[in-house]
Structure 1
Amino acid sequence: MQAYDKTKYRFAHAIIEVMKHEPLEKITVKDIVKKAGLTRQTFYRYFKDKYDLVNWYFDVLAQKSFKQMGVQCTLQEGLEKQFTFIKEEKLFFTQAFLYGKQNSLFNYAYDCILHFYEGIIVKKSGQPLDGNLRFLLRMYCHASIYMTAEWVRSGMRMSCKELSSLLIEALPTALAAILLEG
C-alpha cells in the first residue's frame, strides 16, 4: 500500500474512532486530525471535508464489492460482498447514512451505483440507455440505496444474502434482462 493510501486510511480509521462518541454531523476536521495524529493541512491535501472522507471510504467498499459484479462475480455475489462489508463497518455506515444532506453518502452512493450500472448496461447491450431504461435504472438505484440505508439504520437484522436476493427480485424486468444475463 502506498503512503498516499495509508494516510487516507489513517483518516478513515480516525473518523470511525470519533464516531464511537459523536454523530457525524458533530464531528469536526479538528477531531479527525487530532485522532489521526496528523495535521489539518494533510487532511485537506487528501479531502475537501469530512463528507469527502466518508465518500472515499465508500469507494473502498465499491472496489471490494460491486465493481466486481459482472466481471469476477454475479450480481448476487457482488451485492452480498457489499452488504457484508457494510456490516463489518456497521458503526461507520450507520453514522454515515444518518446524515442525509448535501455531500451525503446517500447521494454519493446513488451516483456511484447509477454510473456503475449504466456502464454494465452499455457494455452488455452495446448501445446507450434509452429514456425508458434510464428512468427504470434511476428509480431502481434510488430505491436500492434507500433500502440499504434503511437496513443499516434499523440494525442490519436481515441477512446480507436475503437483502441481496430481495434487491435482485425488485429489479424491473427490462433491467433484469440485461443485468442478470450470463
Structure 2
Amino acid sequence: MNSKQIFAESLEALLKKKNLDDIQVCEIVAGTHLSRRTFYRHFDDKYDLAGWYFAQFFEKSFGSITNGASWEDALSSYLSLYKDKVAILKNAYESHDVNGLRNIDIAFTKKTYETYLLQNGADTQSEIMQFAIDIASRGGTDMVIEWLMGGMKIEKEKLISLLKQTLPPVILRYLDK
C-alpha cells in the first residue's frame, strides 16, 4: 500500500467519527506510521487528501462513463458506493469549507460530463452546453448529497430515473446514443 492510500485510510477512520472540518492533519498523520512531512509531500491539506480519496471511487464508478459504461450503470455504481460509505461521506459533505467535498464532487462531475460529451461529438465549448453541464453537475451532485444526507429514503433506481429525466435535453440526447 502506498503512502497516499495509508493517509486515505486514516482519514476514512476519522470521518467515521467526525466532520472533515473538525479533523486536523496531525490526527490523520497519527493514524499512520508516516510523517507529517510525507503527508505534505503528497497533499496540500486535508481537503486535498479528501479530494484524492473521493477521486479513487468516483473514477471507478460515475467516471466510468468516459470508458464506455452506460450513464445508468455508472450512476448506479456510484450510488452503491455512497450506501457503503454513508457515515464517512456524511461527515465529509458536512464541511463548509470552500475546498470541501461538495465542490470537489461538482468539479469531478463537470469534468466527467465534459469528457464524455466531447468523446461523443458534442460541442462542449458552446454557451448552451457549458450551461447545461453546470446545471447537470451542480443539480445532480446536490440531489445525490440530499439523498445521502436525508437517509436515502427513495430507492436508488428511482433516484437514477429522476436524475436522468431531469437532465438538460442537450446532454440527454448524447446519453441515449
Quick check: TM above 0.5?
A: yes
The 2-side partners of 1:117 and 1:23 are apart by 29
The 8 Å contact of residues 136 and 175 in structure 1, kept in 2 or not, is answered as yes
What do the CA deviations read for 1:17-58 (whole angstroms, capped 9, x no partner)? 122333221110111111123211111111111111111111
Match of 1:54 among 50, 55, 71: 50
1:12 aligned to which of 8, 12, 33:
8
Which residue number in structure 2 is paired with residue 111 of structure 1? Answer: 107
| 2:65 paired residue number | 69
Q: Cα RMSD over matched residues?
A: 1.6
Which 5+ residue runs of structure 2 have no aligned equivalent? Answer: none
Matched, 1:181 2:161: no
List gaps (5 residues or longer) in structure 1: none
How many equivalent pairs are there?
177
- CA drift at 1:129: 3.1
Structure 2 contact 47–99 (Cα < 8 Å) conserved:
yes
Please list the CA deviations of residues 57-105 of structure 1 after superposition, one character each: whole Å capped at 9, or x if unmatched. Answer: 1111122112211533210000000111121111221111111321111
Q: Is the 8 A contact 2:7 2:39 kept in 1?
A: yes
Amino acid at match of 2:63: K
Aligned residue number for residue 127 of structure 1: 123
* Identity among equivalent pairs (%): 27
Normalising by the residue count of structure 2, what TM-score does the alignment of the two structures yield?
A: 0.92
TM-score normalized with structure 1 length? 0.89
Q: Aligned partners of 2:122, 2:143: CA distance in 1, in Å? A: 30
Change (3 A) 1:172 1:126: closer
